[in-house]
Amino acid sequence: MRELYEHPFFRAFYLPALLFSFALGLLIPVLPLYAASLTDSYGLIGIALSAEPLGRLIGDIPAGLLLRRYNPKHVMLLGISLFCVATAALFFAPGLIFMIIFRLMAGSGQAFYGISRHTFAAQAVRLTSRGRALSLLGGLSRGGQLLGPVLGGAIASQLGLRTAFLFSAAVMLVAIFLISRYMTSEMAAHEVDGVVKQKGGWQTLKPSLGGLFTAGSGQVFAQMIRAGRQALVPLYAAEVLGLDVAAVGLIESFAAGVDMSLFYPAGLIMDRHGRKWAIVPSFSLQALGMALIPFTGHLATFVGAVTLISVGNGLSSGSMMTMGADLAPPENRGEFLGLWRLVGDLGSSGGPLIVGGVAELLTLASTAWYVSATGLLAALIFYFFVPETRKHEPQPVKQPAD
């Protein structure tokens, strides 16, 4: 364990990712209930919760452009710093409109951090271990959400909803220090196919746009069910089952534990059998679990449905990052991954809007079926229309003996 901690890549890349995820996890049970404390309208709650993914939409393309000119480390630091400031500012937000503004800022920061982190990993990790490396990143993201929600719920319950925002910002400051101290440009010196990165402009992306369209269509619905679940589960637990914020945090942490336990099997499946072998079962299970939520009348059955969703989500740990890295042209990874994240964030922003809009017109419980349909669409698109993207790393050509 000591050797792992002292490894430069762990301290520079994986540990900050874990801390960033933990900081996000602190907010999972808090944000929906905080928005609900500012308005009685489910529609407005949905808009407030969609502000962060909308902010990511705003930041995705600029992040790709910045990566053409600057080292991923600098873009990471810019993004996580913006997220940190915007999260701390929520403590002082006087109303819903300010919450929306600060969440838009936080989303843009998350786009900068996420895309630069993705680009760094795609450059630094070999093809043969890409699935495991990125599933580990996805697993750590879920690991941060193992304790984050329960601690966030406890803080909000004892000290008030707003206090959790300050704790989240403080954790991000530690991540900023680790990246500043330990990340070096030499860590990303490995280019998986031997192509030197060029500044070729957006024209070089044209051959990759076909894959972006088909796989991106699936990713829209994949991210939609993920984001919809994050909005629906806390609201359903509080509004329908009558649970308090501390109990919501416990449920979210339990779900994250189930989720995290599957990140390594997910990586093995993607590397040994193919990306689709993990993706299609994953979103099928998530769709099934989401469809069962309206039939949960008490805590035990609700936790059962959430567990099924978490098993499905765990099977897709790192899958969208891995597929994006597979499809990205080596000479313009930053720009492509910016577009890839843009497409995914369209889905992420749509999830909370579905929850808020349908709940406003019908009932909160009935929104689960609409969110479930997005997961089923994701599974069908990846199964029927997206080719397998797993590739074998080219072997060096042997020189003939003299």
Give the pLDDT of residue 162.
94
Give the pLDDT of residue 194.
42
Q: Identify whether 154 is part of a domain.
A: yes
pLDDT in tens, 224-276: 999 899 889 999 998 899 998 889 889 988 998 898 888 888 888 988 888 89
Grade residue 336 by pLDDT with cuts at 50, 70 and 90. Answer: confident
> Is the per-residue pLDDT at 135 higher than 90?
no
Q: Identify whether 53 is part of a domain.
A: yes
Q: In the numeric block, which tokens belong to residue 314? A: 């765990």
Please state the length of the chain: 402
Given a contact cutoff of 8 angstroms between Cβ atoms, the answer to whether 247 and 153 are in contact is yes
Q: What is the SS3 assignment for 224? A: helix
Grade residue 329 by pLDDT with cuts at 50, 70 and 90. Answer: confident
Q: Picking from 83-92, 291-300, 359-368, which range would have the lowest pLDDT averaged per residue? A: 359-368
Distance from C-alpha of 392 to C-alpha of 87, rounded to nearest angstrom:
42
Q: In the numeric block, which tokens belong to residue 376? A: 């089923």
Q: Name which residue leads in pLDDT, 398 or 224.
A: 224
Residue 35's contacts (CB-CB under 8 Å, 6 or more residues apart) are 44, 45, 48, 49, 96, 99
Query: Cα dihedral sign for 355, 295, 27, 121?
Result: negative
Give the pLDDT of residue 1.
45
Q: Name which residue leads in pLDDT, 213 or 136.
A: 213
| CA dihedral of 264, 132, 344, 235, whole degrees rounded to 10 | 20
pLDDT in tens, 153-209: 999 999 999 999 999 999 999 999 999 988 876 655 544 444 444 455 555 556 566
Q: Identify whether 187 is part of a domain.
A: no
Give the pLDDT of residue 78.
96
pLDDT in tens, 115-124: 888 888 777 7
Distance from C-alpha of 169 to C-alpha of 179, rounded to nearest angstrom:
16
Dihedral pair phi/psi, residue 378, rounded to 5° = -60, -50
- Output DSSP code: residue 201: -
Tell me the average pLDDT across 52-69.
Answer: 87
> Is the per-residue pLDDT at 333 higher than 80?
no
User: Which residue carries 């060096």 as its tokens?
Assistant: 396
Query: Cα dihedral sign for 292, 294, 296, 302?
Result: positive
User: How many domains is the chain partitioned into structurally?
Assistant: 1
Q: Which domain holds residue 96?
A: 2-182+206-384
Given a contact cutoff of 8 angstroms between Cβ atoms, the answer to whether 314 and 262 are in contact is yes
Distance from C-alpha of 153 to C-alpha of 234, rounded to nearest angstrom:
11
Given a contact cutoff of 8 angstroms between Cβ atoms, the answer to whether 59 and 109 are in contact is yes
pTM given for the model: 0.73
Distance from C-alpha of 27 to C-alpha of 47, rounded to nearest angstrom:
17
C-alpha distances (whole Å) from 72 to each of 68, 119, 127, 194 are 9, 7, 20, 19
Q: Identify whether 253 is part of a domain.
A: yes
pLDDT, the chain, mean: 84
Q: Identify whether 313 is part of a domain.
A: yes
Q: Identify whether 195 is part of a domain.
A: no
- DSSP per position, 40-86: S-HHHHHHHHHHHHHHHHHHHHHHHHHHHHS-HHHHHHHHHHHHHHH
Q: Identify whether 365 is part of a domain.
A: yes
User: Which residue carries 């193919």 as its tokens?
Assistant: 274
Q: Identify whether 399 is part of a domain.
A: no
CATH of the domain at 124: 1.20.1250.20
Give the pLDDT of residue 359.
86
Distance from C-alpha of 39 to C-alpha of 35, rounded to nearest angstrom:
7
Distance of CA 235 to the CA centre of its chain: 20
